[in-house]
Structure 1
Amino acid sequence: MSTGLTVGVEEEYLLVDRSTGENVPRAGEVYTGLPAELRSHNRAEFRPCMVEMVTSPAVELAAVRAEVATLRTATATAAAAAGARAVAVGATPVGEADRTPTEDSRYRGIVQHYGPIARDPAVCGCHVHVGVPSRGAAVDVCRRVRPWLPVIQALAANSPLHSGVDTGYASWRGVQLDRWPGVGPTPHVVSEKEYDEAVASLVESGVMLDPGLVLWHARPSERYPTVEIRIADVCATVGDAVLVAGLVRALVATALSTVHDTDDPVADHVLEAAHWNAARVGLAGTLLDPRSGRARPAWELVEELWERVTPALLRSGDLDEVGSELSRVRREGNGADRQRAILSRTGSIAAVLSSAELGRAQGTR
């Protein structure tokens, strides 16, 4: 059984030195070390200390699970052969000596345009693509999912460490990305024309270098017939990635099925506050409900999200699988909670990075 909506996942992994934990620029070596049949799943990333792997579009969530596991294992093996460790953490945990971007004219242009911001330490995300009938439908979906994306962000938060310490944030990646122009909630626009006009104005201002630098939390993909949701940190485990992919697809399916319902616009400043709140506390406190403007226990909002997408999960046959992963996160915490538990128990960031290494038991379940 299926909704008919395809789903695909882009994951960015960090390459770190096995001894020091600092980022190392070995992406080229990792690429050549991948099995030939998997190299087409690799995408060049902004920093040579990052590896991006992309799953094929799939209708069955089980296929996403299997392919994420395969790509993680292959990346771990290639990284080890290159003398590095590939880890699933959302922000640079220790340090990055060389912040030179990957040799690419596009990336060089970004550095020249944005200056020091483009030399911030590397961050790694999980982007979910969901197939939609048209670009117009994609614009509509981007508007309708806006109030729920802070909840997805809180569930996926996996970057509490930076510069060798706990930042106090569940997602330091989220805070760091806020320095970039063009990152933030998708504007409340009601048509392709309004969307294109908004992008054109921002390109004209220089906030965006070009339409490819639309970095909103939800956007119509420039390359694929999909909606791309870009709010999640790279997930700590395969199970976490399946949870995020399943919830996002169900949220998109729900938005498509309620296209004729009235959607009350939420002010951008309220959404920005909700996202900051999600990055700050993750699931360990209260989140701002953008619809009411009030702080509520994080798990209350998770439960409301669950109720909202349950019909879509039933239609796709994903209810039990996604529900099982969500129950696990409720027991164990999100990635940030688990990193902190290891740090508290061991006092060692090296132990955190060891547990986050792709291909370990924690990273493949």
Structure 2
Amino acid sequence: MAERGTRPSVTPVPAVLTVGVEEEFLLLDPVTGESLPVADRVLGALSGHSRRQSRPEFRHSMVEMVTPVCTDLVRLRAELLALRRSAAEAATAAGARLVAVAATPVCEPHRTVPDKDRYRAMSRRYGPVAHDPAVCGCHVHVGVPDRELAVQVCNRLRPWLPVVQALSTNSPLHDGHDTGHASWRSMQFDRWPSVGPSPYFVDAADYDRTVADLIAAGVMLDAAMVYWYARPSTAYPTVEVRVGDVCPTVDDTVLVAGLIRALVATLVDEVHAGRPAPRVRNCLLAAAHWRAAHDGVDGELIDLARGGTRPAWELVEELYAVVTPALLRHGDLETVRGQLDRLRHEGTGATRQRRAMAASGGDVRAVLDRLAADTVRG
């Protein structure tokens, strides 16, 4: 039987779900590694498809590139690579480097927000939190055209997202030093009051009431400030998963996107089968995300189903097993399996940054050289 408060989807869900990705990037000084406030120049230098798929961000030293809606990972990869390379060329022309790194690695001297009413309002409301050094995420959209269904999928995503977060970790550095966290972006971003694990909602009306209450309380300025790790998108008919760091390479992004699409497809089937969403205590869920941000996949993660901690890769393989039928249905099994094996051998972006740091004797600029090359690697 379906959960109380749910209703059947009124919009048919196709066998193959669409996928799209938003990636945020830093613009760094090629010599010092400091963030450079040249986003306007970079965006202005883009043209055609790349310009249409670009977005300004909350910092003058950030740009966002957005893929079109895709139905297969081959096209998604091609779009990601083309957009990264176009943005990197524009950054070079502006005297900067486009770098796929999720937290400011050295420093950001210029932290004023762009001249937009909404950004100025955020600056006034949240004060120093709005002027933290820039962070960059990877947001994956999966087509779920029925909003009621999207809310139920988000309920079921809750226990799996720490595993996805661990796989995407790519920000161990801050102020030129290793923070001890695989994702410092997660620690820094958590200062915003509307960031965190997605709450459990009975239905879409419950979701809407909660968001309205938070806006009325002054926690959020508007519904676009729902920064939970998964949400029904405010702009598209999708489930948006926004837990991950921006990934260092397009292959890393394709892996994360492929896993998320398969997971969403699996959970859509669970909703239709009437299987209830697991009710995970919020304190344990928050702890699981902290552990994922701290260890990545190099240590242990909290097993929210059985309790305690387990080696991270055991939980990754459990996730893979759960979504294998959906990977097969979407034609993604071989790609995702190959990329998981590669990641297990190479390590996440955080692991690779630490390896490069050690090899260079602690030279952050050498790490950034590697990251800039990885950003556009084909």
Aligned to 2:310: 296
Q: Alignment partner for residue 280 of structure 1, among 283, 294, 306?
A: 294
**Distance in structure 2 (CA, Å) of the matches to 1:312 and 1:362:** 29
- Mapping for residues 181-330 of structure 1, pairs under 5 Å: 181-259=193-271, 260-330=274-344
Gaps of 5+ in 2: 1-13
Aligned to 1:174: 186
Aligned to 1:104: 116
Quote the offset at 1:37 in angstroms: 2.8
Number of matched residues?
Answer: 362
Contact 1:89 1:124 in 2 (8 A): yes
Q: 1:216-252 CA distances to partner (integer Å, 9 max, x unpaired)?
A: 0000111100010000000010000000100000010
**Distance in structure 2 (CA, Å) of the matches to 1:195 and 1:362:** 37
Greater shift, 189-198 or 6-15, is seen at 189-198
Aligned to 1:73: 85
Q: Is residue 377 of structure 2 the alignment partner of residue 364 of structure 1?
A: yes
**Distance in structure 2 (CA, Å) of the matches to 1:92 and 1:246:** 27
Aligned to 1:130: 142
Quote the offset at 1:4 in angstroms: 2.1
**Distance in structure 2 (CA, Å) of the matches to 1:6 and 1:362:** 24
> What is the identity, as a one-letter code, of the residue corresponding to 1:351?
A
Contact 2:146 2:237 in 1 (8 A): yes
- Mapping for residues 33-48 of structure 1, pairs under 5 Å: 33-48=45-60
Quote the offset at 1:361 in angstroms: 5.6
**Distance in structure 2 (CA, Å) of the matches to 1:41 and 1:211:** 23
**Distance in structure 2 (CA, Å) of the matches to 1:160 and 1:250:** 28
Aligned to 1:160: 172
Quote the offset at 1:277 in angstroms: 0.3
Secondary structure (helix, strand or coil) at the match of 1:209 reads: coil
Secondary structure (helix, strand or coil) at the match of 1:264 reads: coil
**Distance in structure 2 (CA, Å) of the matches to 1:293 and 1:218:** 23
> What is the identity, as a one-letter code, of the residue corresponding to 2:264?
V
Aligned to 2:364: 349
Quote the offset at 1:123 in angstroms: 0.1
Contact 2:99 2:375 in 1 (8 A): no
**Distance in structure 1 (CA, Å) of the matches to 2:301 and 2:266:** 22
**Distance in structure 2 (CA, Å) of the matches to 1:215 and 1:13:** 18
Secondary structure (helix, strand or coil) at the match of 1:219 reads: strand
**Distance in structure 2 (CA, Å) of the matches to 1:81 and 1:264:** 50
Quote the offset at 1:262 in angstroms: 2.0
Contact 1:270 1:293 in 2 (8 A): no
Contact 1:99 1:121 in 2 (8 A): yes
**Distance in structure 1 (CA, Å) of the matches to 2:342 and 2:217:** 45
Secondary structure (helix, strand or coil) at the match of 2:370 reads: helix
Quote the offset at 1:291 in angstroms: 2.2
**Distance in structure 2 (CA, Å) of the matches to 1:362 and 1:131:** 26
**Distance in structure 2 (CA, Å) of the matches to 1:118 and 1:350:** 27
Percent sequence identity is: 56
**Distance in structure 1 (CA, Å) of the matches to 2:210 and 2:310:** 32
**Distance in structure 2 (CA, Å) of the matches to 1:146 and 1:257:** 16
Quote the offset at 1:89 in angstroms: 0.4
**Distance in structure 1 (CA, Å) of the matches to 2:195 and 2:248:** 23
Quote the offset at 1:156 in angstroms: 0.2
Quote the offset at 1:362 in angstroms: 6.4
Q: Alignment partner for residue 332 of structure 1, among 322, 346, 349?
A: 346
Secondary structure (helix, strand or coil) at the match of 2:359 reads: helix
Q: TM-score, normalised by structure 1?
A: 0.97
**Distance in structure 2 (CA, Å) of the matches to 1:42 and 1:16:** 18
> What is the identity, as a one-letter code, of the residue corresponding to 2:377?
T
Aligned to 2:3: none
**Distance in structure 2 (CA, Å) of the matches to 1:361 and 1:186:** 31
Moved over 4 A (4+): none
Secondary structure (helix, strand or coil) at the match of 1:364 reads: coil
Contact 1:356 1:363 in 2 (8 A): no
Contact 2:88 2:376 in 1 (8 A): no
Greater shift, 285-294 or 163-172, is seen at 285-294
Gaps of 5+ in 1: none
Q: Is residue 103 of structure 2 the alignment partner of residue 91 of structure 1?
A: yes
**RMSD between aligned alpha carbons?**
1.1
Quote the offset at 1:290 in angstroms: 1.8
Quote the offset at 1:186 in angstroms: 0.9
Q: Alignment partner for residue 59 of structure 1, among 67, 71, 83?
A: 71
Q: TM-score, normalised by structure 2?
A: 0.94
Quote the offset at 1:292 in angstroms: 2.7
